[in-house]
Amino acid sequence: MQKNMRKKQTADGALPESIMSLQEKETQQNDVEKSISCKQKFDGKKKDGKAYRTRRLFCLLLPVVIFALAVCSAVSLLYQIVFTKNPYLSVVVSDNNAELLSLVVPQSEPEEVAYTPQENQSMFHTGFPVISYGTKWATLNVEGWKRRDIPVYFGDSDTLLDAGVGMWIGSRFCGQNAKVVISGHVMTDFWELEDVKIGTAVSMDTIYGKYRYVVSETFVFTNDQNEVVLDQDEGDVLLLYTCYPRTEGLRRGTQRFGVKCTLAEGYEYEAYQTD
């Protein structure tokens, strides 16, 4: 048996060439398998890294996208509610002390209602002229105001208040010995009403004559205090009012700021006078 083993070995003691070739193949195969395994692990880690970065980027961007959509929706809703209903949001330009610097008059005026004074036409034969709803029947000026010649319309609908100030149809006209009630938007025509002091001169240049008033009282009331606008047998008084405070801007609050003015000069129609 020892003789046979010796025959299988070469003279220098090396293994036969066929056995060496088999071992080399096994070694090469193992190396290839290890290489493939390492590549698969590397590719897996690479894919896992990309997925992680993608997920992280998505998580970071999702709140931003949601916030942007919420802002766009809010702006769109604000535009629909405010800008289309009230053209005054960008009208007022103020300094740090909230003093009025500039005020732009809206260009959307209602259709003019023609008024032609006629001697044979009067309201209930009182001699007072007939004034139709929607008529621009006067211009208002307040001493010290930067806003001048404010148009006064008969009626206080949204359309009329967009163009100027409006007279409540449940009140009376100047010269009728009763309360004249006029309201206006705080963001435009009546922005300065809150600053009016007692003793300030107020003028109403009507289509039938000029009337001069003097501020006698300023006060704050709520929108459900109907007695404020109702006539109290005080004679010819002028009530101007608007939303309060003006710092509330376009918010629809319940408070109002009122300015009561007493007549100082102007023709009073006899038919409306009482003994």
**What residues make up the domain containing 17?**
2-79
Look at phi and psi of residue 199 and say left if phi exceeds 0, alpha if psi is from -120 to 50, else beta. Answer: left
In a domain, 105, yes or no: no
Identify the band that residue 152 occupies on the pLDDT scale cut at 50, 70 and 90: very high
Q: What is the pLDDT of residue 85?
A: 45
Question: CATH number for the domain including 126?
Answer: 2.40.260.10
Identify the band that residue 62 occupies on the pLDDT scale cut at 50, 70 and 90: confident
- And the tokens for 67? 């916030």
Identify the band that residue 76 occupies on the pLDDT scale cut at 50, 70 and 90: confident
d(CA 220, CA 140): 21
* pLDDT over 90, % of the chain: 44
Overall average pLDDT of the 250-273 stretch:
87
Question: Could you tell me if 210 and 253 lie in one domain?
Answer: yes
- Residue 89, pLDDT > 60, answer no
Please, is 31 exposed, middle or buried when counting C-beta atoms within 10 Å of its C-beta (0-12, 13-18, 19+)? exposed
Q: What is the pLDDT of residue 96?
A: 36
d(CA 171, CA 155): 10
Q: What is the pLDDT of residue 18?
A: 58
More confident residue, 13 or 262: 262
Residue among 70, 148, 60, 151 nearest 109 (CA) = 151
Question: Could you tell me if 70 and 119 lie in one domain?
Answer: no
Question: Could you tell me if 185 and 119 lie in one domain?
Answer: yes
In a domain, 91, yes or no: no
Note the pLDDT tens digit of each residue in 188-207.
999 999 999 999 999 999 99
Tell me whether the omega of the peptide bond preceding residue 245 falls within 30 degrees of 0, making it cis. yes
Q: What is the pLDDT of residue 74?
A: 81
- Residue 269, pLDDT > 70, answer yes
- And the tokens for 104? 């732009």
Q: What is the pLDDT of residue 58?
A: 79
- pTM attached to this predicted model: 0.59
- Residue 176, pLDDT > 50, answer yes
Question: Could you tell me if 196 and 118 lie in one domain?
Answer: yes
- Answer whether 173's CB lies under 8 Å from 137's CB: yes
Least confident of 78-92, 100-114, 189-203: 100-114
In a domain, 104, yes or no: no
More confident residue, 243 or 124: 243
- Answer whether 195's CB lies under 8 Å from 165's CB: no
- How does DSSP assign 102-133, residue by residue? E-PPPS-PPPPPP----TT--GGGSSPPP--T
| Domain total of the chain | 2
DSSP run (H or E) holding 161: helix 158-163
Question: Could you tell me if 257 and 138 lie in one domain?
Answer: yes
- And the tokens for 139? 């211009």
Identify the band that residue 242 occupies on the pLDDT scale cut at 50, 70 and 90: very high
- Residue 275, pLDDT > 60, answer no
Q: What is the pLDDT of residue 108?
A: 47
* pLDDT over 70, % of the chain: 62
Please, is 105 exposed, middle or buried when counting C-beta atoms within 10 Å of its C-beta (0-12, 13-18, 19+)? middle
In a domain, 180, yes or no: yes
Least confident of 46-50, 95-99, 242-246, 267-271: 95-99
Residue 175's contacts (CB-CB under 8 Å, 6 or more residues apart) are 128, 206, 208, 209, 211, 236, 266, 267, 268, 269, 272
In a domain, 267, yes or no: yes
In a domain, 57, yes or no: yes
- Residue 251, pLDDT > 60, answer yes
Question: Could you tell me if 263 and 169 lie in one domain?
Answer: yes
Q: What is the pLDDT of residue 153?
A: 97
More confident residue, 119 or 93: 119
